[in-house]
Chain A
Amino acid sequence: MSPAPAIDVDDLRVVRGGNVVLPGLSLKVQPGTVTGLLGPSGSGKTTLMRAIVGVQRIAGGTMRVLGEEDGAPSLRAQIGYVTQAPSVYADLTVTENLRYFARLVGASAGRIPTVLRTVGLEDVGDRLVGRLSGGQRARASLATALLGEPRLLVLDEPTVGLDPVLRRDLWATFHALADAGSTLLVSSHVMGEAALCDRLLLLRDGRLLAAETPAELLERTGADDLDTAFLRRVEAAEAA
C-alpha cells in the first residue's frame, strides 16, 4: 500500500471574480517527491497552490494537506510557500528579511547562512533586496521559505529568470530536500523542467490532463519529448 498522500484534493472548485478557475479538480501528491505542476499560464496552477496553502477561498470540494484539513492553523508551521512575484521586503537587506522570517517560523539564526548558500546569495546578504536583480530577489524569496525546513514546499515558478547553472543547482536542492522527506510541489510552464520532476501533474483550463512520471507520460503518448507528449494529452482531452 502506498503511503498517505501529502496532498489529497477531491473535487476542488474555485471561482474567482465570476470565472470558474477550477471546475472540480481531484489529484494527489505523494510524500517525499518533487511533483511538477505544469500547464500554460492561466491554467489554474497558482490558484491550486493558493488553495493548498490555505489563502484561496474555495467554492466546493475537500482537501487534506499533510493529513490535516486544509487551512488548519497547525499546517502553517509545516508549509513553505513561495509566490511567483518575490514576496520579501524590498527596503530590508536579504539577511534582515531572513532574520525576520526565521523568528516567525522559529528557525534558529544559524539557518540563515545555510539557506543563503543554498540559493547562492551568500555574497549579497547585506544588500537591500530592492537593489537586487529580479532573479536574486526571487532567490531571496525562496530562501525565506527554506528557513523552517518545512514538510511541504509549494513553489510557484521558482526558477524563472535564473541562469542555467543556478537552475540546475536549485533542482538538485529540491531533490535533496525530497530525499530528506519533504514534499515539493513546483509549478513551471517550461517543459524542459518537467523532466526533472519525479511526477507530473498537467493542468489545462483547471482540468487535470495527466498525473504520471515523465517516463510514463512519454511511453503512454508515444512522444519523443515532453512538449509533444503534453500536446497529445491536450488533443486527447479535446477529442473526448
Chain B
Amino acid sequence: MSLRRTAATAGRVLSQLRHDPRTVALLLFVPSLLIVLLKGIFAGQPETFDRIGGPLLGLFPFISMFVVTAITVVRERLSGTLERLLTLPIAKADILFGYGIAFALVALVQCSVVSAVAFGLLGLDVAHSAWLVFALAVANAVLGMALGLFVSAFAATEFQAVQFVPAFIVPQLLLSGLFAPRDQMNRVLEALSYALPLTYAYDALARVTGPGELGVRLAVDIAVVVGSIVLALLLGAATLRRRTS
C-alpha cells in the first residue's frame, strides 16, 4: 500500500465528481429535502417527527452513498480502467481506500448539510446528543459505501447495480425495526434481522434519539457497524481480481 497512490486515487474520484455538479448537488441536498418533506408530513405530530426524524437522517446518507459507490465502481469495471489499474503498480488496498476516503469526505459534507438543516432549521429534537446522530450518520454513509463497493462485483451493468437498492437495501430497512418493532415480527424474520448490519445502524440511531439509557447496547451497535464496514471492504478487496478469465 502507498499513501501517494491512495491519495492520488481519492483525488481522482473527487475530480470525477467535480465534473458532475448535478450529482454533487443531488448528493448534498436530497437528504435535506427529504427531511423537510418529513417535517411537512408530520406537521401536526411534532413528536413523531422527533421520533423518526433522527433515525431517518442517519439512514438517508447510507442509501445515497450505497448507490453512488456501486454505480461508480461498476462503471470503473465496465470502462476497462479497473483492469488497467490492476496492470499498474497499485495495491488493491490503494484503490479501495482511495474510493473510501473520497466518498467518506463526500459523506461528511452530506451529513453536515442534512444535520444543519434538521437540527438548525427544522428544530429536530433528539433525547441525546445531536452530534452523536451526526457521527452515526457518517458511519452509516461509510457502511453504505463499503456495501456498495462489495455488491458492485455482482452487477454486470449500472441497471443491475441500481436494482440492488430494492433487492438488498429495502429488505434491510424493513427488518431494521424502523417500521415495526423486531420482537413483534415473524420469528424467522426477527432472527434474520440479527444478521443484517442495518439493524444495528438503526438500533444505534433509535437509542441516541429516543429516551432511555445509551448503555452497552449502543457500544455493541457501533462495533457491529464498524465491523461490517471492515468486512465489506475486505470482501470488496477479494472481488478485485488481477487475473480474470
List the interface of chain A (C-beta within 8 A of B): 15-17, 53-57, 71, 73, 76-77, 79, 81, 83, 85-92, 96, 100-101, 103-106, 128, 144
Which residue of chain A lies nearest to B80 when distances are taken between CB atoms in the complex? A87
Check if B217 is an interface residue, CB within 8 A of chain A: no
Q: Which of B60-104 contact A (CB under 8 A)?
A: 79-81, 83-90
Cross-chain contact B5 with A56 (CB below 8 angstroms): no
- Take A55-B83, A87-B79, A87-B81 as given contacts and tell me if A92 and B16 are in contact as well, using a CB distance cutoff of 8 Å: yes
Which residue of chain A lies nearest to B90 when distances are taken between CB atoms in the complex? A104
Q: What's the interface size class on B, roughly?
A: 20 to 34
Question: Bound complex: CA of A129 vs CA of B12, how far in Å?
Answer: 14
Cross-chain contact B89 with A81 (CB below 8 angstroms): no
Could you list 10 further interchain pairs (A-B, Cβ under 8 angstroms) beyond the known A57-B244, A89-B81, A100-B15?
Answer: A53-B87, A57-B245, A81-B84, A86-B80, A89-B12, A89-B79, A96-B12, A104-B8, A104-B90, A144-B84
Contact of B12 (CB < 8 Å), options: A100, A105, A106, A144: A100
Check if B4 is an interface residue, CB within 8 A of chain A: yes
Contact of A17 (CB < 8 Å), options: B16, B79, B243, B245: B245
Report chain A residues within 8 Å CB of B16: 89, 91-92
Write the nearest CB–CB distance from B243 to chain A, whole angstroms. 5
- Take A90-B79, A103-B5, A103-B8 as given contacts and tell me if A55 and B244 are in contact as well, using a CB distance cutoff of 8 Å: yes
Report chain B residues within 8 Å CB of A128: 19
Question: Bound complex: CA of A89 vs CA of B11, how far in Å?
Answer: 13
Which residue of chain B lies nearest to A96 when distances are taken between CB atoms in the complex? B15
11 contacts across the A-B interface (CB closer than 8 A): A54-B87, A54-B243, A55-B242, A55-B244, A71-B242, A87-B80, A89-B16, A92-B12, A92-B15, A100-B12, A105-B89
Query: What are the interface flags for B21-37 relative to A under an 8 Å C-beta threshold, 1 for contact and 0 otherwise?
Result: 00000000000000000
Question: Bound complex: CA of A105 vs CA of B88, how far in Å?
Answer: 7
Cross-chain contact A81 with B245 (CB below 8 angstroms): no
Question: Bound complex: CA of A87 vs CA of B89, how far in Å?
Answer: 16
Q: Which 3 A-B pairs have the closest CB atoms?
A: A87-B80, A103-B8, A77-B89
Cross-chain contact A56 with B244 (CB below 8 angstroms): yes
Question: Bound complex: CA of A123 vs CA of B9, how far in Å?
Answer: 26
- Take A55-B244, A83-B80, A100-B12 as given contacts and tell me if A91 and B89 are in contact as well, using a CB distance cutoff of 8 Å: no
List the interface of chain B (C-beta within 8 A of A): 4-5, 8-9, 11-12, 15-16, 19-20, 79-81, 83-90, 242-245
Question: Bound complex: CA of A54 vs CA of B81, how far in Å?
Answer: 15
Report chain B residues within 8 Å CB of A76: 87-89
Which residue of chain B lies nearest to A87 when distances are taken between CB atoms in the complex? B80
Report chain A residues within 8 Å CB of B19: 91-92, 128
Question: Bound complex: CA of A57 vs CA of B15, how far in Å?
Answer: 33
Most buried by B among A76, A79, A100: A100
Contact of A91 (CB < 8 Å), options: B11, B20, B243: B20
Cross-chain contact B12 with A79 (CB below 8 angstroms): no
Report chain B residues within 8 Å CB of A89: 12, 16, 79, 81
Question: Bound complex: CA of A226 vs CA of B7, how far in Å?
Answer: 49
Contact of B88 (CB < 8 Å), options: A15, A88, A96, A101: A101
Report chain A residues within 8 Å CB of B79: 87, 89-90
Cross-chain contact B243 with A104 (CB below 8 angstroms): no
Which residue of chain A lies nearest to B242 when distances are taken between CB atoms in the complex? A55
Most buried by B among A55, A77, A79, A83: A55
Write the nearest CB–CB distance from B27 to chain A, whole angstroms. 15
- Take A17-B245, A56-B243, A104-B89 as given contacts and tell me if A87 and B20 are in contact as well, using a CB distance cutoff of 8 Å: no
Write the nearest CB–CB distance from B115 to chain A, whole angstroms. 29
- Take A17-B245, A57-B244, A103-B5 as given contacts and tell me if A73 and B89 are in contact as well, using a CB distance cutoff of 8 Å: yes
Cross-chain contact B244 with A83 (CB below 8 angstroms): no
Which residue of chain B lies nearest to A56 when distances are taken between CB atoms in the complex? B243
Write the nearest CB–CB distance from A239 to chain B, whole angstroms. 34
- Take A92-B19, A100-B12 as given contacts and tell me if A87 and B84 are in contact as well, using a CB distance cutoff of 8 Å: yes
Which residue of chain A lies nearest to B11 when distances are taken between CB atoms in the complex? A100
Question: Bound complex: CA of A53 vs CA of B90, how far in Å?
Answer: 14
Question: Bound complex: CA of A105 vs CA of B87, how far in Å?
Answer: 11
Question: Bound complex: CA of A55 vs CA of B8, how far in Å?
Answer: 23
Question: Bound complex: CA of A45 vs CA of B244, how far in Å?
Answer: 16
Question: Bound complex: CA of A232 vs CA of B37, how far in Å?
Answer: 75
Write the nearest CB–CB distance from B17 to chain A, whole angstroms. 9
